[in-house]
């Protein structure tokens, strides 16, 4: 089984960017969900990368690379589902949607690990996230679109309900 798949790896606290850089140097594809935000200090403003899911990095690996990644000192273990011993595989389609949301969202993306109830299936029809499919939900009176990664939770971004249309097709993978 030399097919590549997405796995989530837990890393030591505040080591996410170092692990990303190390994996890149090793030629292993990884994805660290970050967003650039402007931070205000008393004397200056600075753009900083905010890690969206602390202590976690996603790796796209085959079996040999999977064994190589786990030997890195900053990698603690892979995400596994309760009662299983093998790392939990994250579907390619969910990772693609999550990456698209992070790359093109003008609004701040947050990651929510609460067990959100499935909402109306929608497709974004306007703006930089046009084409993204997910679930529409209302949180604290504001419309948001969520991309669910079943093993972890949801990535959520605020969005006007006028920017989405109801998805009629039943082929939307959860």
Kindly write down the DSSP assignment for every residue of 54-97, as one continuous string.
TTEEEEEE-HHHHHHHHTSTTEEEE-B-TT--SBPEEPHHHHHH
Q: By three-state DSSP, how is residue 162 classified?
A: helix
Q: Tell me the domain boundaries of the chain.
A: 5-90, 92-166
Q: For the chain, give the mean pLDDT.
A: 85
The residue among 55, 47, 40, 51 whose CA lies nearest residue 110 is: 51
At residue 114 the predicted structure's pLDDT band, cuts being 50, 70 and 90, is low
45 pLDDT tier (thresholds 50, 70, 90): very high
Q: What is the mean pLDDT of residues 124-132?
A: 82
- Say yes or no to pLDDT of 173 above 50: no
- Count of C-beta atoms within a 10 Å radius of residue 140: 6
Q: Where are the alpha helices (DSSP H) in the chain?
A: 16-25, 63-70, 92-104
**DSSP 8-state code for residue 161:** G
Q: Which is higher by pLDDT, 61 or 85? A: 61
Q: pLDDT tens digits, residue range 135-162?
A: 877 777 777 778 777 778 888 888 776 6
The pLDDT of residue 100 is above 60: yes
Which of 29, 4, 20, 32 minimizes the C-alpha distance to 72?
20
State both tokens at 157: 């971004």
Question: For residues 112 and 64, which has the higher predicted lDDT (pLDDT)?
Answer: 64
- Domain covering 92-166 in this structure, CATH number: 2.30.30
Residue carrying structure tokens 């690379």 = 65
pLDDT the model gives residue 83: 83
Residue 174 has pLDDT above 60, yes or no: no
> Of the given ranges (3-12, 53-62, 153-162), which has the lowest mean pLDDT?
153-162
The answer, yes or no, to whether residue 78 has pLDDT greater than 60, is: yes
CB 59 within 8 A of CB 9: yes
Task: Domain 5-90: give its CATH code.
Answer: 3.30.70.940
Cα gap 50→53, rounded to integer Å: 9
């Amino acid at each position: 089984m030399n097919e590549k798949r997405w796995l989530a790896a837990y890393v030591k606290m505040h080591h996410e960017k170092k692990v990303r850089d190390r994996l890149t140097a090793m030629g292993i594809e990884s994805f660290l969900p970050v967003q650039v935000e402007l931070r205000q200090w008393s004397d200056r403003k600075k753009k900083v990368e905010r890690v969206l899911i602390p202590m976690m990095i996603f790796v796209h690996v085959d079996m040999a690379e999977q064994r190589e990644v786990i030997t890195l000192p900053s990698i603690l273990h892979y995400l596994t589902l309760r009662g299983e011993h093998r790392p939990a595989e994250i579907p390619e389609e969910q990772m693609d949607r999550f990456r698209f949301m992070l790359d093109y969202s003008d609004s701040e993306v947050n990651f929510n690990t609460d067990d959100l109830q499935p909402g109306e299936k929608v497709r974004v029809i306007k703006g930089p996230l046009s084409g993204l499919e997910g679930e529409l939900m209302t949180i604290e009176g504001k419309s948001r679109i969520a991309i669910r990664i079943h093993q972890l939770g949801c990535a959520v971004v605020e969005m006007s309900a006028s920017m989405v249309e109801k998805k009629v097709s039943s082929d939307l993978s959860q």
